[in-house]
């Protein structure tokens, strides 16, 4: 405990905790909708696309990865949702195609134009999360706070509409709700969150942040509002626990958080049977 407080005196530890909690909050809120809309895999696909984006950014030698990664991921998110409605390529197949293609091309690019001597180290840290969460600058922390606030505000303001579109898209559309617009909004927010979450847990693991809290909450609660709130709480708590665990034991942050989330999911499954 004492060690924890010593660590908390370092600003980079505090930054990591703030950013970690915000990312977990946003992704767990969104996760409810994505899981219920059967879009769980979109998070996974997009994170691979973001990996490809990072490779491109490396090749182009862009100082700020975000400038490349964010637009690439947002565009892919929109395209993926579009093809979901296309009959020729089914949604799941499209996601599988795009995600492996992005991984392969990303790794190819990194090999063809190596930016540092330790290529496999770079790849590993991009895929599984690195210490980058502990090397955040104050600017990145603010960027994260602003984006998270925007996502939260959007979610609260459009909560009822998001519910309607998630539960029954055609009915909402027949009642005059512009369902396409909300699907687009959901896709864009997902992409933004994925890019943020990559800093925290790496691109292979970041869909865990989205799906696990929602799935755990659904074991315990039976109304949309309660599931949403529980998902946010569980997401934040597991992220905090995972971060602290990782800092204290010197384990990788990403896998620690995901491990805690799997544990929470297990507990929720057991609780469900006893309620």
Which residues are at the interface with another protein (CB under 8 A)? 36-38, 156-161, 163-164, 166-168, 170-177, 218, 221-225, 227
Please give the Cα distance from 216 to 1 (Å, whole number).
Answer: 28
Question: What's the angle, vertex CA 155, arms to CA 153 and CA 159, rounded to 5?
Answer: 125
Nearer to another protein, 36 or 59 (CB): 36
Q: How far is the CB of 167 from another protein (least distance, A)?
A: 6
Nearest residue to 142 (alpha-carbon basis) of 18, 268, 269, 12: 18
Nearer to another protein, 8 or 175 (CB): 175
- The answer to whether 110 and 86 have CB atoms below 8 angstroms apart is no
**At its nearest, how many Å lie between another protein and the CB of residue 168?**
7
Q: Report the chain's C-alpha Rg in angstroms.
A: 19
- Supply the minimum distance, in Å, between the C-beta of residue 39 and another protein: 10
The Cα–Cα gap between 193 and 91 comes to 21
| Residue 97: exposure state from Cβ atoms within 10 A (0-12, 13-18, ≥19) | middle
Shortest distance in whole angstroms from residue 218 CB to another protein: 5
Q: Are 127 and 51 in contact (CB under 8 A)?
A: yes
Comparison of 49 and 227: residue with beta carbon closer to another protein: 227
Kindly report the number of other CB atoms within 10 A of residue 32's CB atom: 27
Q: How far is the CB of 254 from another protein (least distance, A)?
A: 28
Task: Decide whether 36 or 78 has the Cβ nearer to another protein.
Answer: 36
The dihedral formed by the CA atoms of 148, 150, 151 and 152, expressed in degrees to the nearest 10: 80
Shortest distance in whole angstroms from residue 226 CB to another protein: 8
Distance CA 165, CA 170 (A): 8
- Measured from the CB atom, is 134 or 229 closer to another protein? 229
Give the residue carrying structure tokens 């027949």.
Answer: 174
The nearer residue to another protein, 9 or 176, going by C-beta atoms, is 176
């Amino acid at each position: 405990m004492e060690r924890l407080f010593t660590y908390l005196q370092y600003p980079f530890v505090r930054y990591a905790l703030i950013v970690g909690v915000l990312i977990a909050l946003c992704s767990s809120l969104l996760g409810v909708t994505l899981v219920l809309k059967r879009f769980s895999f979109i998070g996974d696909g997009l994170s691979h696309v973001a990996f490809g984006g990072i490779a491109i950014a490396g090749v182009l030698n862009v100082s700020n990865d975000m400038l490349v990664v964010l637009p690439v991921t947002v565009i892919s998110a929109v395209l993926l949702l579009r093809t979901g409605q296309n009959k020729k390529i089914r949604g799941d197949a499209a996601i599988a195609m795009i995600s492996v293609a992005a991984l392969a091309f990303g790794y190819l690019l990194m090999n063809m134009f190596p930016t540092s001597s330790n290529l496999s180290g770079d790849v590993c840290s991009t895929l599984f999360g690195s210490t980058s969460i502990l090397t955040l600058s104050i600017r990145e922390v603010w960027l994260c706070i602003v984006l998270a606030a925007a996502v939260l505000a959007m979610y609260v303001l459009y909560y009822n509409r998001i519910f309607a579109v998630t539960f029954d898209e055609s009915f909402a559309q027949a009642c005059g709700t512009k369902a396409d617009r909300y699907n687009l909004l959901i896709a864009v927010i997902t992409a933004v969150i994925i890019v943020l979450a990559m800093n925290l847990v790496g691109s292979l693991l970041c869909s865990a942040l989205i799906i696990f809290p929602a799935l755990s909450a659904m074991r315990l609660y039976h109304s949309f509002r309660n599931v949403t709130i529980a998902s946010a709480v569980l997401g934040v708590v597991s992220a905090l626990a995972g971060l602290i665990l990782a800092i204290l034991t010197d384990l990788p942050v990403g896998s620690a958080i995901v491990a805690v989330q799997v544990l929470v999911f297990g507990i929720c499954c057991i609780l469900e049977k006893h309620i």
